[in-house]
Amino acid sequence: MKILITEYHNTKLFSLPGGFVGINEDLDQAVRRGLGERTGLSNIYLEQFYTFGNVSRFKPEVMNTILNANGHNPKGKYSWMTERFISVGYYALINYKEVVPKPDVLTDSCEWYSIKKLPKLILDHKQIVEKAIHTLRDNLDKKLASGNLLPAKFTMKELQHVYEAILGTKLRRTTFQRKMLATELLKRHEKKYSGKAHKAPYLYSFK
């Protein structure tokens, strides 16, 4: 499993992709706009998972560094960017192989990083990542049904690979299959033939 990380211009500072909500813009609308700008994707399932508002996350020196590195005066018209922020976290499940991320005007790069090999992140962004992963793994069965990681019809093996990637652990095939069938979330279809009929697995879809 990977996550999108940006690097700010001339700072060697890394962060989660974020953005601001326009005065006349709905929160969900702003999130979808940001997702589209960074990934080119639309009509993607997004889930709001937590709001981060501890006073300890207020560190104006970080934004001062970013603004100065991009030729902006922190005490000028961009002074509002050094004030305290409350961040609302969303996550989206997508196939990262189908996306070419795009950096914004303040960043040099916007790239996929393995969740096991993340660079040091600014402010409380590491905690935001940990909270997102915890939320995703909790009650994963229902959340995966709304995701975008599988084709319309998939094999049990393909489904197991997605679970293993998100959970970060190997699963026993027979136990996993028994568990998934017991959830009653899946609908079984025809077999997927590949030249060896006796080994053809069934295809499934989410109900």
* C-alpha closest to that of 187 among 157, 139, 153: 153
User: Whole-angstrom Cα distance, residue 162 to residue 170?
Assistant: 11
Distance from the Cα of residue 100 to its chain's centroid: 14
pLDDT of residue 68: 94
Expressed in angstroms, the distance from the first to the final Cα of the chain is 25
Q: Does domain 2-140 have CATH number 3.90.79.10?
A: yes
The average pLDDT across 151-166 equals 89
Single pTM value for the model: 0.80
- CATH of 150-206, picked from 3.40.50.2030, 1.10.3210.10, 1.10.10.10, 1.10.645.10, is 1.10.10.10
| Helix/strand/coil for 179 | helix
Residue 62 to residues 68, 76, 104, 134, 205, Cα–Cα distance (Å): 10, 16, 18, 27, 46
Q: Is the pLDDT of residue 147 over 70?
A: no
pLDDT of residue 27: 96
**Least-confidence region, from 2-6, 64-68, 194-198:** 194-198
Q: Is the pLDDT of residue 196 over 70?
A: no
What are the domain boundaries of the chain? 2-140, 150-206
